[in-house]
A and B are shown apart, each in its own frame.
Chain A
């Protein structure tokens, strides 16, 4: 049984193996941002209502703010840093730019992660499925239509490349 105030964990973050000790009540979000310095994942509300901290854990979208850090142990995790890089954006990211799906940008990494989880499972989502997939992500700027369009388009382009 793993037990204690500090817990050793191993997990995969964006393809890289990570080993570290985490506090029992630290959140996955805290560990990703403050211990591993991956600042793409944002903290909005901290209580699972805004989706800004959405990450993909074993293929599923999850609020990192509601996940205890020790629960990362053994998991395969993707954050927005794992999607594209500075040289080449992911088709989803390109589509967000093309469709003006980004205004202030704070919700964008979380939305991209919800979108990524969706298209991994459903490569050709209907608009309804896209709306459903991002229903746990709040955006206070765009009014959502641009985001929904972007994800639909990004999904097509992602499928086309593979």
Chain B
């Protein structure tokens, strides 16, 4: 095991200054649920751990003019129990309900979940379906990026070495249908084999005005299924249409990911999961 040094800045400014100087050799540490595992296995070798878990600037959940703002350092438990999130992003609540275990949810942060850039990051599909933007800070600079664009490749994040994730800004559901579904090997402590989220807006007659569908664990990075989205636009959610859309989900996954040993299973699973997710709309 490598022996890194530890630093705990009191302020965001101090943290960003540290990253400006040592960003290339630093790994931010929040809940530790990925970092400590990778340190133990030797996969992560880093000269510095920068403990950002107590930075006030990374905390807080609020509804602002921009949307639903969730600090990068907010824990999964805090999100799960937030009435604001329950009202404005039901899909995210659901992805937090099946996240790791109670012990992990008590410390793991959404910033860490996104920053680690796992293809199966549980919060990613809901964030993407809610059109979430990530606000990142460097020393004296701030930029805003679509969450989807921070997933560059499996475990490769678009966050620069001298940047920190500050917060996420989600589009509130505002009456739209917002849901998340996941398949894991068990209920708790299961890396998701497949996950997906939806944010759908319907007209009076039921036809989709707009729909956003995001897939996790089925593609190298969590991403929007744009072909599926445009297929549904203006269509009514009868069973036939939903089944055709589910088929398109499977096709898109195979087109993007290629055929793998698991495809035989995933091709069917993705369709079943999609139907399960949209069932409440169809039933209506």
Residues B102 and A66 in contact, CB atoms below 8 Å apart: no
Q: Which B residues are in CB contact (< 8 Å) with A114? A: 102-103
A67 within 8 A of B: yes
Most buried by B among A71, A114, A132, A135: A71
Q: Which A residues are in CB contact (< 8 Å) with B41? A: 47
State the CA gap A100–B51 with chains docked (Å): 42
A67-B32, A136-B188 as given contacts; A46 in contact with B7, CB under 8 Å: no
B62 within 8 A of A: no
State the CA gap A27–B6 with chains docked (Å): 12
Closest chain A CB from B60 CB (angstroms): 18
Residues A133 and B102 in contact, CB atoms below 8 Å apart: yes
State the CA gap A133–B103 with chains docked (Å): 9
Q: Which A residues are in CB contact (< 8 Å) with B101? A: 48-49, 51, 135-137
Q: Which B residues are in CB contact (< 8 Å) with A25? A: 1-4, 6, 39, 49
Residues B103 and A68 in contact, CB atoms below 8 Å apart: no
B107 within 8 A of A: yes
Q: Which residues 55-74 of A sit at the B interface, judged by CB distance below 8 A?
A: 60-63, 65-68, 70-71, 73
Q: Which A residues are in CB contact (< 8 Å) with B2? A: 25
B37 within 8 A of A: yes
Interface string of B3-43 (1 = CB under 8 A from A): 11111111000100010000000000101110011011100
Q: Which A residues are in CB contact (< 8 Å) with B51? A: 68, 70-71
Closest chain A CB from B4 CB (angstroms): 5
Residues A4 and B5 in contact, CB atoms below 8 Å apart: yes
Closest chain A CB from B152 CB (angstroms): 25
Q: Which A residues are in CB contact (< 8 Å) with B8? A: 1-3, 70, 73
B104 within 8 A of A: yes
A24-B4, A68-B51 as given contacts; A63 in contact with B37, CB under 8 Å: no
Residues A71 and B103 in contact, CB atoms below 8 Å apart: no
Count of B interface residues, CB-CB < 8 Å: 35
A140 within 8 A of B: no
A54 within 8 A of B: yes
Residues A136 and B6 in contact, CB atoms below 8 Å apart: no
The dominant DSSP class at the A interface is mixed
Sort chain A's interface into a size bin: 20 to 34
Q: Which residue of B lies closest to A25 (CB)?
A: B4
B230 within 8 A of A: no
B187 within 8 A of A: yes
B53 within 8 A of A: yes
B257 within 8 A of A: no
B63 within 8 A of A: no
A23 within 8 A of B: yes
B145 within 8 A of A: no
Interface residue from B3, B18, B36, B189 paired with A66 (Cβ < 8 Å): B36
Q: Which B residues are in CB contact (< 8 Å) with A136? A: 100-104, 188-189
Closest chain A CB from B282 CB (angstroms): 28
Closest chain A CB from B175 CB (angstroms): 29
Q: Which B residues are in CB contact (< 8 Å) with A71? A: 29, 32, 51, 53
B241 within 8 A of A: no
Interface residue from B4, B14, B40 paired with A1 (Cβ < 8 Å): B14
Interface string of B70-114 (1 = CB under 8 A from A): 000000010000000000000000000000111110110000000
Residues A66 and B32 in contact, CB atoms below 8 Å apart: yes
Interface residue from B4, B10, B37 paired with A47 (Cβ < 8 Å): B37
Extra pairs beyond A1-B18, A2-B8 (13, CB < 8 Å): A5-B6, A25-B4, A48-B100, A51-B103, A61-B106, A63-B103, A66-B33, A68-B6, A70-B6, A71-B51, A114-B102, A135-B188, A136-B188
Q: Which residues of A contact B (CB under 8 A)?
A: 1-5, 7, 23-25, 27, 46-49, 51, 54, 60-63, 65-68, 70-71, 73, 114, 117, 132-133, 135-137
| Chain A to chain B contacts (Cβ below 8 Å), 13 pairs | A1-B7, A4-B7, A51-B101, A60-B107, A62-B106, A63-B107, A66-B37, A66-B107, A68-B6, A114-B103, A133-B102, A135-B187, A135-B188
